[in-house]
Amino acid sequence: MGSLLSGLEGRVRRGGLAVLATAAAVTAAASAVVPLIAVPAAALGQGRGGDHLTVVVRHAGAGRDGTYELFCHPAGGHHPDVRGACQKLDEQTQWGRDLFAPVPPGTICSMISGGPATARVTGTWAGRPVDASYDRNNGCEIDRWNRMVPLLPKIG
């Protein structure tokens, strides 16, 4: 960066204000980029890496119902399987895909019931807000639930 500005400095003396404006623009652009690259995640207010989920499970049966806190990166909280849940979520996380997306409208699903269990997952995962509801009302919803075990309890 210094050599770029040194070269422009000689041109400023010969070329006037237009080159000075170019040098100022290059310096401002470089200054704006550096802080974005160098700022650690904790300084951006993400605390423990930003991966924090609250899982509320209802009607899943004794020992499964409850409200659980899960932190990942580093792992923590009072979820029944902190490390397993974090690992499962990490394995399934893909750039550009909503890990917690509902079953798409119009999807043809088998009409079987997986029981009355429901769950709601809220918080932040991979820097994105999460507010997802789960049930077991048909084959697609059962499959969606099962893909989230052990974040959600294993049923059956």
Q: What is the DSSP string of 67-127?
A: EEEEEETTTEES-TTHHHHHHHHHHH--TTS-TTPPPPTT---------S-EEEEEEEETT
In a domain, 128, yes or no: yes
In a domain, 106, yes or no: yes
The residue-averaged pLDDT of 134-141 equals: 98
Q: Which domain holds residue 62?
A: 49-148
Q: Indicate whether this model's pTM tops 0.75.
A: no
In a domain, 97, yes or no: yes
pLDDT at 81 over 80: yes
The pLDDT score that the predictor gives to residue 49 is: 57
> Would you say 140 and 107 are in contact if contact means Cβ atoms under 8 Å apart?
yes
104-122 residue pLDDT tens? 999 999 999 999 999 999 9
The pLDDT score that the predictor gives to residue 11 is: 41
* 3-state SS assignment for residue 40: coil
Q: For the domain that residue 90 is a member of, what is the CATH number?
A: 3.30.350.10
Domain count, the chain: 1
Two tokens, residue 1:
């960066």
